[in-house]
Amino acid sequence: MDPFPPTTQQQAVIAHRSGNLLVFAGPGTGKTETLARRFAALVAEGVAPNRILVLTFSRRSADEMRDRVLLRLRQSTGSGLAVSELFVKTFHSFCGRLLDGGDARVRSRALLTPVKERLIWRRIMRSGLLVLSSFDAGVTESSQFATDCLNVIAHLKGQGVTAQRLTDLARGDVRLADIAQIFTLMEAERARGELRDYRDLVNEAVVALGDERSAAVRWLRDAGFLHVLVDEFQDSDVMQLHLLEAMRAVMTPVPLFCFVGDVNQSIYRFRGASPGNVAAARVAFACQTLPLRDNRRSAQAVLDVANADASLDRDSLTTAADPEKRGSVRLARPHTTDDEVRAIRDAVVEKVVAGTPPRGIAVLLRQTRPYQELISSALALAGVPVAALPAAGFHEDVCVDAVLTALRLLATKEDERLWRRLLANPIVGFRQIDVRLAFDAGRRAGMTDPRAMLRSNPPGGLRPISDLLTAWKHCGDAYLKATPFELVQTIIYELDLLRPVREGDPVSGFDPNASPLRLDALLAAAQDYSEGTGAPVSAHHGSRPDVVEFIARLDETVGLLADATQPPPGGTDGVRVMSIHAAKGLEFDFVVIPRLIDGILPADERPNRLLTTRSIRTLTGAGISVFLGGDEARREEHSLWYVALTRSRKDVLATAARVDDEGVDLELSPFASAIAHTAGEAREHIEQDASLHGQARSHTNDRAAAAPPRAIRLPMDTLSPTGVSAFIDCPRRFFYSRVLRLPADDDDATRYGQTLHQVLRRFHEIETDFEHVGHADDAAARYAARLREIVAEETAATSADGEGTPLARFEREDLGRRLEQYAGRLAAEATSEPFSVLACECDVVSPFGRVALHGKVDRIDRLAQGGLVVRDYKSGRWHGDLVTVLRRAFERIDGGDSIFGDPPTGLNLQTILYIPGVERAFADRVRRLDYLYFRGKDTKNSALRVDSTMVAAAGEGDARSLSPAEVGRVERDIAARIVAMCSQGEMSAFPTAHDERQCRFCSFTRICPGPGAVA
């Protein structure tokens, strides 16, 4: 049975055969699915799949459509199809195919990439051929001038305007004449290199279709398409509509056209999209119209606000398919912009704590600078994972970062900071702390050469440092001799940057879908430079000029490759903080729309930086629109508000500060009136005061008043003595693992501890009687043999290949040695102070004020002479006896210091916190607390170390024993304080650790601002 049967409206689109069709498809109405089903229905009726042409505007949409069509075909026909049998294409790739006349052999057209375009631009600017009279020399050298000028030229080409036509129009207009001059030279250089950009492909295809004898016309007729489906038609430009008209004019038989579009979502006018094409096509192709109105994505509460905008096209508006779906749209008015950022942070944290996955949340900005960074940082500081920023996604990709760092390091030679960055890259794989220690030790020894420092203090990593340094030498050779392309290739090979793909090994920051493509883009850019920069750059360090130029312009190149209007890769986790443009086609449970301020959303109309008023008038008079202004600009703003709202499945929070950074009042956006004026139970209008955690001051309904924003809360039944210790070591790590409940990796360090605990639990479940052990040596041998057996069984169970990594093998042998010592100590203790084991891994509840601490005690023994011993196994090393370290901690507390995140080394409090629960459960007094440190003292081969603390009864004991008053202080001054901090709902309760050694095995290093970053 079909889990999503088509709605009546979808079925009408799928079945329509009587003439050309224009489908008004609003957000969430399943247009891709409907087109895919229409495709499958046509095939089921006998139309050959290769007689159906589907055109989309982006590769992402084409891939999605192709997958959906293949799925529906498989379901309806029961058999699969090769992708090559389908014509699901972007406009540009289809035009390339047309121009080739369908001949695959000529399909090696050189594309004018943005990097090549910049190289040509620089060549022209350096050529001396340009004589610009309306621009200063300083302006023309700027990167912004290049961007603006190339944008205008691209818009002109999108409307079919040639350099010659612009030259003709420019008579008497010096500014237009200057641009025409640049346009002419750019076109000449492009033609000389036989390069084409996407717009050239469309323009050339239109020209070719006007020639009856062209290969394009012949191929199109042979292809015999019977149906043409065009997706997202509101994003088409003028020339793309001309292309479709030209195709129809030469095709016999004339196919049926089906256009799908939604002018309300037309947010690419700024790039030259012409939503007027939708109305134009309706007339030109005599289309019948059908709507898709059932919105399966958003709650009606969200749609009511979105649809309230009177300027929207009513034909494409939608209603919720499930009227019962709950949702809300809230407006918050924090006082300042800082308050606004904090309010957004708190709203997001609240959702995450309530169970919304971070990737189900988006913060959508009209203007990304500087709020994208501010909000992302605030969220990261609050411990909420944030997906790499769209543009930064490229920079932050671990593969790209490794190549860029390597290139910069080659150019600057021995920069220690770059070495650290390169070696700590997760793919290159050296331990950050080891690398830092190696450099520190090297510097202390008076060394200056980073490679010598690394050699003499080799850091641990995925490969020996000597291997890495040999590989680095090959990179250095390539830097001196190779082209930019060969150099990047060498770096990728020598640093083994594709290891995660080859080994299928998940690496933090590596996206198996995006990272190889990004490396590919970087290689292509290097190839562009290898083909000649035309730059008279003098050689540097003996390397080639093109390599020097390539490295010198890395930032610009990466800026061109990273598209800020693209969302972060789908596979990455974290809250999306991005532009509204980047969110097109995506959906989220919770959407935040910051800065709902008049002048921001809607944005003020801004004058074009390049064109004068006169130039714009000249162009407009000639029917050419290269500058979005007036009504068009305003309509785009309405569409952006509509798109932002309709990304939400359930809840929307719009925010607008009352005053700017200088205290000037900010005017609320006219769009906000839709939130205040739409009535309904599921919508709320909140006036929020400036205080960060302030309660909402007024609400439009009682239900909202009953639900003030929730602060961060830790359910106290999850707090345990181990949790108390974890909090003391790093409150931020505690927040990630116990409040946000983010999964922690099972790293080597914790595996050692887990195996140790498991082995001892199994051993002491069998061996409980240590009062009647007989001869100590025999007992020790017996215990050691039994422990060896259990270790072998446990490590075989946890290591899939029976051997594991070298580190795992080492730790297994180490564990065996320690347990051998433990067996001897056990037998000796049984002789001197007999005892019996009462319980292993015993659940204990310690009542403590109004809170109960739940935890597991490793072992509880009863001494033959009376009283209990609590034992705790430690896989780490001993750093000082409990009483001494505890008293040091009390001194710090008494001096007004916080120990949270910065405790005295070796402060372990679990056993003390267990005392009340153990005494209650076993109706006896705890006489002693034992920590067994299986890695002994802080030296390489030290023996098992036991830290025993006597617990004194009231009025007894000596200076070395723990007094009842001290037990009370642990509860009162430490545990109770943690409970209070966790309960108060402030992020300031969770500072990061002070000492970076805490971070060595931490799973949250990628999302954490780092040790010492948050006090």
Q: Which of 116, 733, 751, 874 binds ligand SF4 (CB under 6 A)?
A: 733
Cis peptide before 602 (omega within 30 of 0): yes
Specify the residue, 390 or 1011, whose C-beta has the smaller distance to ligand SF4: 1011
| Residue 698 CB, nearest approach to ligand SF4 (Å) | 39
Q: Rounded to 5 degrees, what are φ and ψ at 174?
A: -60, -35
Q: Which of 658, 732, 969, 977 binds ligand SF4 (CB under 6 A)?
A: 732
Answer yes or no whether residue 1008 interacts with ligand SF4 by CB under 6 A.
Answer: yes
Answer yes or no whether residue 1005 interacts with ligand SF4 by CB under 6 A.
Answer: yes
Among the candidate windows 373-381, 590-598, 653-661, 992-1000, which touches ligand SF4 by CB under 6 A?
992-1000
Answer yes or no whether residue 898 interacts with ligand SF4 by CB under 6 A.
Answer: no
Amino acid present at 1004 = F
Check if the beta carbon of residue 432 is closer than 8 Å to that of residue 421: no
Check if the beta carbon of residue 969 is closer than 8 Å to that of residue 890: yes
Q: Contacts with ligand SF4 in 593-652 (CB under 6 A)?
A: none
Helices (runs of H) and strands (runs of E) counted in the chain? 40, 21
Answer yes or no whether residue 875 interacts with ligand SF4 by CB under 6 A.
Answer: no
Specify the residue, 169 or 380, whose C-beta has the smaller distance to ligand SF4: 380
As given in the structure block, the two tokens for residue 220 are 């199109």
Specify the residue, 730 or 791, whose C-beta has the smaller distance to ligand SF4: 730
As given in the structure block, the two tokens for residue 980 are 């209070």
Contacts of 616 (CB under 8 A, 6+ apart): 608, 626, 627, 629
| Residue 724 CB, nearest approach to ligand SF4 (Å) | 16
Q: How far is CA 294 from CA 7, 303, 311, 455, in A?
A: 8, 11, 21, 66
- d(Cα 707, Cα 696) in Å, to the nearest integer? 9
Pairing of β 648-655 and β 588-593: parallel
Answer yes or no whether residue 432 interacts with ligand SF4 by CB under 6 A.
Answer: no
| Residue 858 CB, nearest approach to ligand SF4 (Å) | 23
| Residue 754 CB, nearest approach to ligand SF4 (Å) | 19
Specify the residue, 134 or 1005, whose C-beta has the smaller distance to ligand SF4: 1005
Q: How far is CA 404 from CA 320, 440, 518, 1006, in A?
A: 48, 25, 12, 19
As given in the structure block, the two tokens for residue 555 are 């930032």
Check if the beta carbon of residue 51 is closer than 8 Å to that of residue 289: no
Q: How far is CA 850 from CA 553, 847, 912, 976, 981, in A?
A: 63, 8, 18, 10, 15
Answer yes or no whether residue 675 interacts with ligand SF4 by CB under 6 A.
Answer: no
Among the candidate windows 48-56, 575-583, 756-764, 1001-1009, which touches ligand SF4 by CB under 6 A?
1001-1009
Which residues in 164-254 belong to E strands, given as ranges?
A: 195-196, 227-230
| Residue 1015 CB, nearest approach to ligand SF4 (Å) | 12
Answer yes or no whether residue 672 interacts with ligand SF4 by CB under 6 A.
Answer: no
Dihedral sign for Cα 805, 807, 812, 817, please: positive
Q: CB neighbours (10 Å) of residue 405? A: 23
SS3 for 366? coil
Closest CA to 180 of 618, 606, 607, 556: 618
| Helical residues (DSSP H) of 482-564, grouped into ranges | 484-494, 499-503, 515-530, 545-552, 554-561
Answer yes or no whether residue 484 interacts with ligand SF4 by CB under 6 A.
Answer: no
Q: Which residue shows structure tokens 């040596």?
A: 777
| Residue 425 CB, nearest approach to ligand SF4 (Å) | 17
| Residue 740 CB, nearest approach to ligand SF4 (Å) | 11
Among the candidate windows 295-303, 566-574, 732-740, 754-762, which touches ligand SF4 by CB under 6 A?
732-740
Q: Rounded to 5 degrees, what are φ and ψ at 308?
A: -70, -15
Binding mask 685-724 for ligand SF4 (x = CB under 6 A): ----------------------------------------
Amino acid present at 223 = A
Check if the beta carbon of residue 897 is closer than 8 Å to that of residue 871: no
Among the candidate windows 201-209, 265-273, 547-555, 1002-1010, which touches ligand SF4 by CB under 6 A?
1002-1010
| Residue 902 CB, nearest approach to ligand SF4 (Å) | 11
Among the candidate windows 579-587, 713-721, 816-824, 994-1002, which touches ligand SF4 by CB under 6 A?
994-1002
| Residue 1011 CB, nearest approach to ligand SF4 (Å) | 5
Specify the residue, 735 or 770, whose C-beta has the smaller distance to ligand SF4: 735
Specify the residue, 485 or 1004, whose C-beta has the smaller distance to ligand SF4: 1004
Q: Which residues pair with 55 in a beta bridge?
A: 89, 230
Specify the residue, 733 or 818, whose C-beta has the smaller distance to ligand SF4: 733
| Residue 386 CB, nearest approach to ligand SF4 (Å) | 15
Amino acid present at 318 = T
Q: How far is CA 639 from CA 26, 275, 421, 920, in A?
A: 12, 11, 43, 66
Residues in contact with ligand SF4, counted by CB under 6 A, come to a total of 13
Cis peptide before 253 (omega within 30 of 0): yes
Q: Which of 260, 384, 992, 1015 binds ligand SF4 (CB under 6 A)?
A: 992
SS3 for 176? helix
Q: Which of 388, 399, 600, 1002 binds ligand SF4 (CB under 6 A)?
A: 1002
Which residues in 235-287 belong to E strands, given as ranges?
A: 256-261
Among the candidate windows 362-370, 587-595, 710-718, 999-1007, which touches ligand SF4 by CB under 6 A?
999-1007
Cis peptide before 721 (omega within 30 of 0): no
Q: Which residue shows structure tokens 């369908």?
A: 102
Answer yes or no whether residue 38 interacts with ligand SF4 by CB under 6 A.
Answer: no
Q: Which of 95, 258, 374, 999 binds ligand SF4 (CB under 6 A)?
A: 999
- d(Cα 994, Cα 905) in Å, to the nearest integer? 12
Specify the residue, 590 or 1004, whose C-beta has the smaller distance to ligand SF4: 1004
| Residue 904 CB, nearest approach to ligand SF4 (Å) | 17
Binding mask 736-755 for ligand SF4 (x = CB under 6 A): x-------------------
Answer yes or no whether residue 998 interacts with ligand SF4 by CB under 6 A.
Answer: yes
Among the candidate windows 573-581, 888-896, 950-958, 995-1003, which touches ligand SF4 by CB under 6 A?
995-1003
Among the candidate windows 27-35, 819-827, 964-972, 991-999, which touches ligand SF4 by CB under 6 A?
991-999
Check if the beta carbon of residue 913 is closer than 8 Å to that of residue 853: yes
State the distance between the two ends of the chain, measured CA to CA, in whole angstroms: 57
| Residue 688 CB, nearest approach to ligand SF4 (Å) | 30
| Residue 731 CB, nearest approach to ligand SF4 (Å) | 8
| Residue 901 CB, nearest approach to ligand SF4 (Å) | 8
Binding mask 645-664 for ligand SF4 (x = CB under 6 A): --------------------
| Residue 995 CB, nearest approach to ligand SF4 (Å) | 9
- d(Cα 907, Cα 902) in Å, to the nearest integer? 10
Specify the residue, 106 or 1015, whose C-beta has the smaller distance to ligand SF4: 1015
Specify the residue, 736 or 848, whose C-beta has the smaller distance to ligand SF4: 736
| Residue 912 CB, nearest approach to ligand SF4 (Å) | 23
Answer yes or no whether residue 1011 interacts with ligand SF4 by CB under 6 A.
Answer: yes
Q: How far is CA 210 from CA 57, 97, 200, 213, 218, in A?
A: 23, 16, 15, 9, 12
Binding site for ligand SF4 (CB under 6 A): 730, 732-733, 736, 992-993, 998-999, 1002, 1004-1005, 1008, 1011
